[in-house]
Structure 1
């Protein structure tokens, strides 16, 4: 009888610990009202949990994003697509069993974007040249989802160059009159050879002189940690190498017109967990948060 009682007590204690681990986690979202194409910051505090919660996910509109654990404190940055419809959306925190342990709503509001028509004569490519482009593009896609769980920065993000913006994030782009999707970054009209600087501390994931057939041109991709990355396109020269650690403000390359480009400029992009987002909005958000 004593053995049965002890077993029962042990079971109750284990159940209590599990309940405490999942009990009343506090979810914070900033901002709770966000424009299309901008970002939200999610924090989850598990209070006095005695047990670490592993593999937590954020679910928004049937898409999933990892919550990164720092002690019993969790963080996640999420890009709101410029094509997401205006309205209210549930933000769910899911445990390993895909059970909802916290729930909040956000309001997505309208961002008015213009359009841009680009005249460009696309070269006729051979099968071999198309294969080269495919392999290069795969490197970029892989880089977008390669990141450290450690936060590599400790201050707000800055711009890569100080020049005039010629194309905003999210504008509808037409190539020779045909819709070519929305603009996934921000273009700056910088002079040829001007120094491009890292927008924050990070690791160089990709630094490649791509073929002349690739629309991206020569590019650099930087991992800033916590799912945050930045990309710099159309460069004339690259002065960093893959695997190198760079600091905010460090020169990483120089303005060019490589790839699909009508003149010297830089296409700069910010990615959150592999999803593109408005870099200008991102710098503003980090100035408020950090």
Structure 2
């Protein structure tokens, strides 16, 4: 019986990885399953424009070749493991398939900070809430065309001190998951744009310090926190590898480093996963 169960599971995985035929074409999701905080792409073979929906949000597709459309998908690091419906529509036909999300082991980090950096009150708390609203509004926008070109690059040469997804306990209390990657480097080291895009925010925030956010299109944003200096302004178009600032220790930090994050359609996803996926993404 135990052997039969193993065979059934292998067959199920085999069928999940096959492209789903529809309207004379196919839908393929890669990779499967996705990690929590993972990034993948959906490829559809179709002549006409493709529409989609995943995690109750519209999925913007872009044409990569004749009769080939792609869309990036991401799952938040806190999304429970399971199977989630992906709906695709084109040429008057619809298909629903399921994206599997597997449980991903994240580390644990204990941090001790001065009380005033953790327990926010009064005007400081009001400011932080106001800034969070601004960020939510930014990440809710979806540009209909991709702005990036080719693969994404690491914005800073340094040592990863805190990886993505680490569960943080601050002053003895669980606070949150780490939604980006912390890269330590000498203060003043250059920070590069991970890919082409448009600067959508360049200002100092209370917790995040000097912050740059780049819109890469299709709901994909890269986030750079705690900069010592910022070389770009809101509305600037930047190129992959362009210097956008310097490593610093602004905001709520204990030392100089870059916090680098990625938001995809509102989901907090692993920047390293995006780099790996983009090696075969192309434009």
TM-score w.r.t. the length of structure 1 is: 0.80
Give the Cα separation in 1 of the matches to 2:95 and 2:67.
Answer: 15
Structure 2 CA distance for partners of 1:283 and 1:69, relative to 1, 3 Å: closer
Q: Kindly state the Cα deviation for residue 148 of structure 1 after the two structures are TM-superposed.
A: 2.3
| From 100, 113, 117, the counterpart of 2:110 | 117
1:106 aligns with 2:99: yes
1:218 aligns with 2:210: yes
Aligned to 2:77: 82
| From 146, 149, 156, the counterpart of 1:151 | 146
| From 237, 245, 256, the counterpart of 2:229 | 237
Q: Deviations over 1:174-213 (max 9, x none)?
A: 1111111211000011111111110000000000023xxx
Structure with the greater alpha carbon radius of gyration: 1
1:27 aligns with 2:20: no
Give the SS at the match of 2:137. helix
Q: Which moved more, 1:176-185 or 1:138-147?
A: 138-147
Aligned to 2:124: 129
Q: Which moved more, 1:238-247 or 1:223-232?
A: 223-232
Do the aligned partners of 2:183 and 2:259 also contact (CA within 8 Å) in 1?
Answer: yes
Q: Deviations over 1:83-114 (max 9, x none)?
A: 3333443322258xxx9811223332232111
Give the SS at the match of 1:289. coil
Q: Kindly state the Cα deviation for residue 68 of structure 1 after the two structures are TM-superposed.
A: 3.1
**1:44-55 → structure 2 map (5 Å cutoff):** 44-47=44-47, 49=48, 52=49
Give the Cα separation in 1 of the matches to 2:169 and 2:85.
Answer: 33
Q: Deviations over 1:8-41 (max 9, x none)?
A: xxxxxxxxxxxxxx94563221112222221121
Aligned alpha-carbon RMSD (Å): 2.4
Aligned to 2:244: 252
Q: Deviations over 1:115-147 (max 9, x none)?
A: 001111132655333222222222222222234
Give the Cα separation in 2 of the matches to 1:144 and 1:168.
Answer: 22
TM superposition outliers: structure 1 runs of 4+ over 6 Å: none
Do the aligned partners of 2:57 and 2:265 also contact (CA within 8 Å) in 1?
Answer: no
Aligned to 2:57: 64
Determine which structure has the larger strand proportion and give its number. 2
In structure 1, runs of 5+ residues without a counterpart are 1-21
Q: Which moved more, 1:199-208 or 1:24-33?
A: 24-33
Aligned to 1:142: 137
In structure 2, runs of 5+ residues without a counterpart are 1-21
